[in-house]
Structure 1
Amino acid sequence: MPLNLSQKRRQLLPYIAIALLLLGGAAITESLQKVVTDRTFQLQRTEALGVISQLRAQLESEINSVLYLSSGLISYVTVQPRTDQQQWNALAAEIVRGTEHVRNIGLAPDNVIRFVYPLHGNEAALGLEYEQNPKQWPAVKQAIDKGGMVLAGPLTLVQGGLGLIARTPIFTHGDSEQTSRYWGLASVVIDAESMFRSAGIKDQVSGYRVAIKGRDGLGEQGEMVYGAEEVFTQGIAKMKIFFPNGHWVIAALPDSTVGSYWMGPQVARVVGYSFLAVLSVLLVILVRLYHASKGEAMHDHLTGLPNRRLMIERLTQLAVLNERTEINFALYFIDLNGFKAINDNYGHVAGDAVLVEVGRRLIHTVRSSDTVARTGGDEFMVLQPGVKSVVAAKTVVEKIEAALRAPFQYQYVTIDISAAIGVAIYPKDTATVDKLIMVADDRMYERKAEMKSAAVVSENLVD
């Protein structure tokens, strides 16, 4: 008898439970992943802030140290605007000796460059008029309008490399301290690459990619000063670097090429889903083993038919169903005649072959919805739902007897098969499963006795 809908559902229940367990495990894994991701982000952000905070402090220190040294020259010119170039030269040399980052220093009275230190290699700059130079005048004008230093760049220098230009307007005082007059411009060209190296600015610092933005002191509105643009679009920490009349922004992004993936942000998913995968495989194997062992426990190993345990289970199910639907059923108890003689004459292998053949014939004789079981050595049962009358049951008995009487060819031997069959109908004969089996068994023995008596009479007539 094929599995009914209820049985199929029961078999699917373990797999549904496994699926729900996996869904629950996935939800827990994702929750843990979110916690780990948030925690990792906070830790990384704290660490990144620490890294760029140190870099900012070092870079501000380098910038301010250069500007502090150059302020001495500016202060001197402010007080002594008529100082000659020889004195300017001595002051500029002192500034250059105080730092490795200054490339050159220029003074431009009335916006015309009259002094450059060192002169060698910078002779072409002498005589340059800022107001006539469209490239430089906007920055110079900005410094004049602001009345203080403006740090421009980085930009590519004619002499090679990247440079920052600190332009400072110089105002001198007349006879009165309340009045001042624009004297000209002081410019200090700073070696940007040297200053970045000295401040510890590199593409990767302590596992983080670093970039600086804000050319010409415009902050995030400016162009890149150092590093890649994507560090800003994806960066987890940013900080401003201040200098007179402007600022840069330094950002940090974890370097994906540094560190172990297993300790990375996906660790919860890697561990969680690996565990769920192993667990699901183990659970499916256990369910299959359970179904396989249950199948073996419910079926005869020789014929593959349901055994007595499964037959009683199905009898019980139909008895319960009868209480709701009043569907009757018949139980046929079948016992082979002379089976011991078959084993004695032809061997147990032949006897096993006969049992297999009997099971095959019974399956082909009854309906596909009926249950055929081997319940003992040479005993079989057939469970047939929907049988109400004795007449209908006897018709089935005759079909079974006829099917079994056909000779069985085993190797080179023809073996005759016959069986005694007893039938009982539920609930007509009895209303309990145990008694139904007993009634069918008793009627089988009655039928066996009748067949023996008929055989004896037949032998006497022949004699």
Structure 2
Amino acid sequence: MSYNKKTDFIFALISIAFFAIATPISIAIKNHYVSLESKKVEMVVANNISLVRSNFEASIFMDTFLADSLATLITIDPDAAFKKWDVVASQLLSKSQHVRNVTASPNNIITYIYPLEGNESALGVDLSRIPEQYKAIQLAKQKQHIYIDGPVNLVQGGQGLIARYPIYSDFPYNKAYWGTVSVVIDYNKLMTYSGIYDIFDAEVAIRNITNTPKVLYGDIEIFDNPDIQHFINLPYGRWQLAAKYKLSDSAHLTFIERTILSMALISVSLIYALFFLIYKNYKTIHKAAMQDELTHLPNRRYIKKLLKKMSTKKEGNSFFTLLSVDVNDFKLVNDNYGHDVGDRFLQFISIKLQENVRSTDTVARIGGDEFLVILNNIYLPEKVNSVTQSIKNKIESESFFHNNKEIKPSLSIGYAIYNDKNIDIETLITKADHAMYLNKNANAFSKTSI
């Protein structure tokens, strides 16, 4: 594995480790802050539920007091009460919060109603013929005190809670039943006023537990292990208010969660970007230190480091051949055509050297017109001679052109085979250089090719 590939592999492993650590940490931070915010939301919801209970109690007590007052007046002097029915009823209604009408029903027949407008259809209705309402009248009669029923579908339309007060003509003995006085509370207005419709982060339910439990609002399942529970105390009765948190749908918590995750993502990305830039800068500096500026081949420092590494491998045998390559009469190219052409000629040589070796081999420029080539796993002399001659023949068979002038390259190549792990790298390089100079002396550069 090359140095670049190795460092890239290590960087990839570090990147994986970074994200493997950063991801759970980010999630843990998100969960921590969402948990804290959830507790705040739960506290707000609990306070709002408590306020709903208080609003219910206050409103119902105030409005049902009207029924008690009207019942007392009718019990004491029914003639006077009905003679001034509109005046008495309007006064009582003006003091209420959510009462839509009051009725008096001698013998359970609605005979008096205020206001009459909008409630004409209820006048004359025999409540004993409406099973749902008659059952509530019987309960009030049996208990001999006010009874709150509902929500009831009203004859005149809509829904209401009905506070029924039984009237007896033989007070205080209460044996002779006269009828009922009822106060109809607008169910929707009461619910709106209570604030129950404004609870967004919990599911809420209310049921009457005074007699047979009856769900007045919400789903019955909410009463199974509720997170919040209150009892609404009413005149001679009790309701149960229960709630279960529904924080998964909380817009506020969703916003908090997304904000924290976004911040975590930005932070992790910035840290990784900084880390990546440091790594790229390191690679750039290292590349500059290990790369020849002109040809972009590995330089002397890199090739010596690689040779040292190859010569100190512990696993198995590490045999290879080091070629020392020199461009014959390169000085004449510089003198005749200038250093710019000389530089381009060296680039041409470097490209041809790379083209004529294997991908597992390494070509380096160690200075001037000198190159080193490592032939990996080639160490038999006959094979080395064959490869060396092939490289020389192929490169010298091509030409470099400048302004339509042909420059024929000529190479001197010497080699040293590494087959002894005790040999010194400097000695190996010296042996290859010595062989190259012997080859140079034996093959003088042909001046006619320049």
Distance 1:9 1:449, change over 3 A: closer
1:187 aligns with 182
Long gaps (5+) in structure 2: none
1:461 aligns with none
5 Å-filtered alignment, 1:8-407, equals 8-75=5-72, 80=76, 83-87=77-81, 92-93=88-89, 95-117=92-114, 125=122, 127-145=124-142, 147-155=144-152, 157=154, 162-170=159-167, 180=175, 182-192=177-187, 195=190, 199=193, 201=195, 203-204=197-198, 213-214=205-206, 222-224=215-217, 239-243=230-234, 244-247=236-239, 249=241, 264-321=256-313, 323-406=314-397
2:410 aligns with 418
SS of corresponding position for 1:136:
helix
1:441, distance to aligned residue in structure 2 (A): 1.9
1:183, distance to aligned residue in structure 2 (A): 4.5
1:185, distance to aligned residue in structure 2 (A): 2.6
- Between the aligned partners of 1:431 and 1:89, the Cα distance in structure 2 is 131
SS of corresponding position for 2:8:
helix
Deviates more, 1:247-256 or 1:391-400: 247-256
- Between the aligned partners of 2:125 and 2:263, the Cα distance in structure 1 is 68
AA aligned to 1:360 is I
- Between the aligned partners of 1:385 and 1:13, the Cα distance in structure 2 is 24
AA aligned to 2:195 is I
Long gaps (5+) in structure 1: 457-463
Mapped contact 2:151–2:161 kept (Cα < 8 A): yes
Distance 1:380 1:125, change over 3 A: closer
SS of corresponding position for 1:375:
strand
AA aligned to 2:311 is A
Distance 1:385 1:432, change over 3 A: same
Distance 1:236 1:313, change over 3 A: farther
1:86, distance to aligned residue in structure 2 (A): 1.9
1:459 aligns with none
TM-score (norm 1): 0.78
Deviates more, 1:11-20 or 1:66-75: 66-75
- Between the aligned partners of 1:159 and 1:298, the Cα distance in structure 2 is 95
AA aligned to 2:323 is Y
Mapped contact 2:68–2:165 kept (Cα < 8 A): no
AA aligned to 1:399 is S
- Between the aligned partners of 1:455 and 1:344, the Cα distance in structure 2 is 16
| Higher RCO structure (Cα 8 Å, ≥6 apart) | 1
RMSD of the TM alignment (CA)?
4.1
SS of corresponding position for 1:425:
strand
Distance 1:143 1:286, change over 3 A: farther
1:379, distance to aligned residue in structure 2 (A): 0.2
Question: What is the number of equivalent residue pairs in this alignment?
Answer: 439
- Between the aligned partners of 2:201 and 2:398, the Cα distance in structure 1 is 90
1:160-186 Cα deviation digits (max 9, x unpaired): 6653211233467689x6x85655333
5 Å-filtered alignment, 1:424-463, equals 424-428=416-420, 431-451=423-443
1:421, distance to aligned residue in structure 2 (A): 2.3
1:76, distance to aligned residue in structure 2 (A): 5.4
Distance 1:220 1:272, change over 3 A: farther
- Between the aligned partners of 1:232 and 1:279, the Cα distance in structure 2 is 49
AA aligned to 2:407 is I
Mapped contact 2:395–2:409 kept (Cα < 8 A): yes
Mapped contact 1:56–1:250 kept (Cα < 8 A): no
- Between the aligned partners of 2:213 and 2:4, the Cα distance in structure 1 is 69
1:287-319 Cα deviation digits (max 9, x unpaired): 344434433433323323222222122212221
TM-score (norm 2): 0.80
Mapped contact 1:333–1:422 kept (Cα < 8 A): yes
Mapped contact 1:333–1:382 kept (Cα < 8 A): yes
Distance 1:34 1:109, change over 3 A: same
